[in-house]
Amino acid sequence: MSQASAPKRSRRHPSVLGTVFGAGALTAALALGGCTGTPGPPNPSSTSSTQVSPSSATATPAPSGSAGSGTQATGGASGSGTLGGNLPQLVENLSPSVVTIFTQSGLGSGVVYSSDGLILTNEHVIRGATTVEVGFADGQRVEGTVKASDAVTDLALVQAKRTGLPKPTYQTNLPKVGEGALVLGSPLGFENTATAGIISGLHRSIPGSASNSLSLVDLIQTDAPISPGNSGGAVINMRGEVIGISEAYIPPSAGAVSLGFAIPAATAVDVAEELLANGTAKHAYLGLTPGELTAQIADQLGIQAGAGVVVLAADSDGPAGKAGIRPGDVLQSMEGVELTTPEKLLAELRKRNPGDTVGFKVKRGDQALDIKADLTDRPATTTTR
């Protein structure tokens, strides 16, 4: 199995959880935190995307200024999609709604969620922090408090000490492939940066990511460049609406050309509202560890290789264990949807709620089984899905 760079969160940190090409599948390298550097934008030659990823540069906090007033952010471009709109006007209108979030270990980006200072960002941007500093397009920096976070979807809310902020419109309908897209954020510490492209794909999952993360599934793909530091920033359509929150990218060292990924705005809004109401977000829990069904594993199990997800472990007290699913079982489908990869299973579970009953087609040796499992709420700390 050869080593290679792979999909990366767009917040940068020295630590990397894993990066491999194996059996043709790309395994996500999930690095978090900051690229070292001096205050302000780092020297590009001193930073690279090899084996380091997501978000970005350490910075010295600037003095906070007085709070300014804000209005509802609007688009300023007509049309449903192409890059033929008034891009400078879009950037001018939306930049006040996108912020930079500074932590002890680095920085990321964020998007205004409400005019009273609530900021939406990625969980990995603020992980380990209770207070942060929030930088605005007008140069003001204020203190921010981490209000709530959800590691499963990699989303978090920060309360900044500033009001009158321009809240953008969050478009919860998915965009169409081919529509124009703008990415706003602070890549590599260069604050208030805009990049442009199109929507390249929908419902994308990063192959191989399930072993490290639950969040890299059902994403929007764009060729608008996303780099370390963009994490938590906005992906915007040509009407000036937020359609996604920047999440990850695959670097050129992996052979990629402009492969970036974002959490759909619908997911971001649903989770944000749940975090506001309850302080936590609930997710359907099956209670097993899924793995790729390789030819080698199929041979060890004595079954014919094919589509399916192998159960590496099952919590005996979880929904899967109680339903009779065992380690070594192969989940072939869930509610009629073929399970081709562990990431597909996670994406299907993302659509379900605690309390739902789901049916699986299961292969166990030479047996074909139909098993129903009653999903529960995901425990606060668990290694199974």
* Catalytic residue status for 124: yes
**Which residue is catalytic, options 13, 49, 95, 124?**
124
Closest CA to 208 of 53, 46, 20, 371: 20
Selecting among 10, 149, 227, 231, the annotated active-site residue is 231
Catalytic residue flag (residue 231): yes
**Annotated catalytic residue within 154, 218, 315, 329:** 154
- CA separation for the pair 90, 136 (Å, rounded): 17
Taking alpha carbons only, the member of 269, 207, 231 closest to residue 23 is 207
Tell me whether residue 317 is one of the annotated catalytic residues: no
| Cβ neighbours around 321 below 10 Å, total | 20
Report the catalytic residues. Answer: 124, 154, 231
